[in-house]
């Protein structure tokens, strides 16, 4: 395309117009500040594979780091214990989740996905059994803010491991404190 004698003026005008569309105009409401990070103590029950009667309990700690007004990064560690065939077993689980939250007053429903690992620290673990296995999961829940800093949460999580052959479903609740 050939630029005429006045064409050099079009380029700066288009650049200013594009910049004006991207930059917020003076006088618009400022973006709301992100809430501070939080910590949650959680616990509940879980079920190994839905066709199984193997159940157990878990407790853990989760740290929330807001990424945007609607997105939260969560780092967590849990201890899970259960009895299988009369033998008590325990596992440690770590995971990172990203949650999308819908904010409506003091109620915050959320959905998300997670990646993590389960650690088998059992001394009687067979040599053929893995010490660590990858986890992939999904979660849904709701958080209720009781005050500006204290809240409770109720959620369900499904996690798959061992090549997506095994699933664990967790039902939990927790107490949250925001810094």
- How far is 23 from 124, CA to CA, in rounded Å? 61
Phi-psi region of 49 (alpha: psi -120 to 50; beta: other; left: phi over 0): left
Instruction: Give every residue of the chain whose pLDDT is below 70, as ranges.
Output: 1-32, 50-53, 83-87, 122-130, 162-164
User: What are the boundaries of each domain within the chain?
Assistant: 38-178
Best CATH choice for the domain 38-178 from the list 2.30.30.100, 2.40.160.20, 2.60.120.10, 1.10.10.10: 2.40.160.20
Report residue 168: phi and psi, to 5°: -120, 130
pLDDT score, position 12: 52
The DSSP-derived string for 69-110 is SSEEEEEEEEEEEEEETTEEEEEEEEEEEEEEE--BTTEEEE
Pull the structure tokens for residue 60: 């853990």
Residue range 73-119, pLDDT digits in tens = 999 999 988 766 666 778 899 999 999 999 888 999 999 999 999 88
pLDDT score, position 3: 41
Place of tokens 């660590």: 132
> H/E element holding 17?
helix 10-22
pLDDT score, position 104: 83
pLDDT score, position 124: 62
pLDDT score, position 123: 61
């Amino acid at each position: 395309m050939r630029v005429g004698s006045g064409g050099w003026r079009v380029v700066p005008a288009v650049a200013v117009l594009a910049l004006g569309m991207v930059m917020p105009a003076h006088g618009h409401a400022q973006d709301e500040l992100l809430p501070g990070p939080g910590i949650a103590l959680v616990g509940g029950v879980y079920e190994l594979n839905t066709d199984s009667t193997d159940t157990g309990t878990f407790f853990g700690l989760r740290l929330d780091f807001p990424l945007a007004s609607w997105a939260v990064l969560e780092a967590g560690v849990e201890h899970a214990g259960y009895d299988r065939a009369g033998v008590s077993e325990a596992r440690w689980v770590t995971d990172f989740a990203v949650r999308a939250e819908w904010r409506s007053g003091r109620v915050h429903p959320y959905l998300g996905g997670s990646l993590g690992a389960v650690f088998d620290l059992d001394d009687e673990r067979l040599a053929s059994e893995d010490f660590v296995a990858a986890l992939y999961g999904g979660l849904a829940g709701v958080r209720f803010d009781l005050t500006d800093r204290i809240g409770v949460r109720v959620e369900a999580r499904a996690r798959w491991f061992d090549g997506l052959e095994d699933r664990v479903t967790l039902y939990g609740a927790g107490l949250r404190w925001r810094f």
